[in-house]
């Protein structure tokens, strides 16, 4: 095996070429690695010490052994409207087989034009690539399913956006890049046989136990819909619980694996406001924080539509079956959200009144524009004299109800505090801290990003200077997709 540890296969290329096109990445004239995720490299079976000296492998100039580069075809309902898309600036090199037999896609993002680029230049710039690295690694540390970032490499080229910016390539790692939009694409532009091939490949790749379901009478494609729906419900509930806003939940940005993918105009909420939108292009608030669970269901409906011919020959029966799976999604989301909120409040003994206690707190947080992360964290520090639960009368009243709830539990108050500290992060990638890191990086100083990443790697521990919100959240923070 090569000294870097590469062990690449490419099973996706066994599908018909309707699904992809072969495409070499564009070579970078002066590649320079500025970020390497050594922990992730080790997990993948790669030698980080060797990789540090091979930036050309992460910038498209050279290919790792066994690479078989392609650009994937897919479509997507973008803000509700179907568009024919594809990897316009990404190249999938192959699937790294880890020492323990797991399989992960290795993709170069920002590696040049492909047949799917449309009017784009296929390139990426430093800030959005580094931003995806920071936030995806923060999500991983929070225990939220996500694609990961292996490296960020400067290309040595300038890319024209509003001005000339430093070109960069992100190396992204995912359990796969099969999107709901991949099914949208095949259902509209492919054949019935190709639809079945994609579904069978997805089952083989992510849900192999469906090949021989326990109940042999159940349709494996119906079970595929169910297996995709449940992780989506869990994932979006986790987003809600930490105040994460994806920003662009088009079906092409939703992976069937249940991993968070495509960190474009995403951000974490500071002051609690269910209507929070960060994306500069989401002018109508379609993907606002409070809308994410419903958009998850809407996207699953589109996924189910792509599967209908495989669910039952009778379309009405197929629709009925699919509708039940969407109901299961909502049941799973509500269960995940409620159980997650309970542990955020230290509740171990469930009671019907818990829902009112939770929503009552959220209403007060919205009314008083309280910081989402720090308000929950403050509950686990009972002697904090600057706590909003002491300073605001309405919150003080809620606090008494909450304490009475905990006193009815068999667990001690101290045990509840421990549960809360393990489920309420002290540190999230605050927007102003991320911007500080990106600004410094553009000037050649990556130490700010390194320190931020170090703090984010231990989100449930206090790190001085990283838990405070910005001085003012009155001005609306805006994010951009980076294309």
Known catalytic residue at 415: no
- What lies within 8 Å, CB to CB, of 142 at 6+ separation is 238, 242, 425, 428, 459
- 340, burial (CB in 10 Å: exposed 0-12, middle 13-18, buried 19+): middle
SS3 20: strand
Instruction: Identify the bridge partners of residue 371 per DSSP, sorted by sequence position.
Output: 271
Which is catalytic among the residues 105, 184, 252, 371? 252
List C-alpha distances in Å: 252 to 29, 176, 206. Answer: 31, 13, 18
List C-alpha distances in Å: 400 to 339, 393, 404. Answer: 21, 11, 6
Buried b (16+ CB within 10 A) or exposed e, 63-99: bbebbebbbbbbbbbbeeebbebbbbbbbbbbbbbee
Cα 334-340-345 angle, rounded to 5 deg: 125
Q: For residues 435 and 433, what is the distance between their CA atoms, to the nearest angstrom?
A: 5
Tally Cβ neighbours within 10 Å of residue 138: 25
List C-alpha distances in Å: 356 to 341, 353, 403, 405. Answer: 12, 6, 15, 12
Q: How many residues does the chain have?
A: 483
Contact (CB, 8 A) for 53 and 171: no
Which helix (H) or strand (E) segment holds residue 336: the answer is helix 315-344
Cα 404-382-465 angle, rounded to 5 deg: 145
Contact (CB, 8 A) for 261 and 255: yes
> C-alpha dihedral over 468, 469, 472, 474, to 10 degrees?
-170
- What lies within 8 Å, CB to CB, of 49 at 6+ separation is none
SS3 420: helix
For residue 217, what is the DSSP state? T
* Residues annotated catalytic, as ranges: 252
């Amino acid at each position: 095996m090569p000294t870097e540890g590469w062990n690449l296969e490419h099973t996706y290329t066994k599908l018909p070429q309707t699904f992809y096109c072969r495409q070499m990445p564009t070579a970078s004239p002066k590649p320079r690695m500025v970020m390497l995720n050594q922990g992730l490299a080790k997990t993948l079976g790669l030698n980080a010490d060797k990789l540090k000296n091979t930036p050309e492998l992460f910038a498209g100039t050279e290919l790792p052994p066994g690479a078989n580069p392609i650009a994937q075809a897919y479509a997507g309902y973008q803000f509700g409207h179907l568009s024919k898309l594809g990897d316009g600036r990404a190249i999938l090199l192959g699937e790294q087989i880890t020492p323990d037999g797991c399989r992960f896609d290795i993709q170069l993002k920002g590696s040049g034009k492909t047949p799917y680029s449309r009017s784009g230049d296929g390139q990426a710039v430093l800030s959005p690539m580094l931003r995806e690295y920071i936030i995806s690694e923060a999500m991983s540390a929070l225990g939220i399913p996500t694609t990961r970032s292996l490296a960020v490499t400067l290309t040595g080229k300038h890319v024209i956006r509003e001005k000339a910016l430093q070109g960069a390539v992100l190396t992204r790692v995912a359990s796969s890049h099969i999107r709901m939009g991949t099914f949208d694409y095949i259902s509209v532009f492919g054949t019935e046989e190709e639809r079945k091939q994609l579904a069978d490949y997805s089952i083989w790749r992510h849900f192999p136990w469906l090949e021989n379901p326990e109940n042999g009478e159940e349709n494996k494609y119906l079970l595929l819909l169910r297996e995709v729906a449940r992780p989506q419900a869990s994932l979006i509930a986790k987003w809600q619980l930490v105040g994460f806003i994806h920003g662009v939940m088009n079906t092409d940005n939703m992976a069937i694996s249940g991993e968070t993918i495509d960190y474009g105009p995403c951000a974490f909420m500071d002051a609690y406001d269910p209507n929070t939108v960060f994306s500069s292009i989401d002018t109508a608030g379609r993907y606002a924080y409070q809308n994410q669970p419903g958009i998850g269901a809407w996207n699953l409906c589109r996924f189910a539509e792509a599967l209908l011919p495989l669910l039952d020959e009778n379309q009405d029966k197929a629709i009925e079956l699919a509708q039940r799976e969407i109901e299961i999604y909502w049941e799973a989301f509500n269960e995940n959200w409620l159980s997650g909120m309970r542990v955020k409040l230290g509740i171990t003994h469930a009671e019907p009144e818990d829902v009112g206690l939770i929503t009552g707190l959220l209403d007060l947080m919205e009314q008083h524009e309280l910081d989402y992360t720090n308000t929950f964290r403050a509950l686990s520090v009972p002697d904090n004299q600057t706590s909003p639960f002491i300073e605001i009368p309405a919150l003080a009243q809620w606090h008494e109800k909450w304490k009475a709830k905990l006193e009815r539990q068999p667990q001690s108050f101290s045990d509840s505090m421990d549960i809360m500290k393990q489920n309420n992060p002290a540190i999230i990638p605050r927007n102003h801290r991320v911007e500080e890191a990106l600004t410094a990086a553009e000037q050649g100083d990556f130490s700010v990003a390194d320190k931020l990443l170090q703090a984010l790697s231990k989100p449930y521990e206090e790190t001085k200077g990283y838990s405070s919100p910005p001085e003012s959240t009155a001005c609306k923070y805006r994010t951009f997709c980076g294309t």
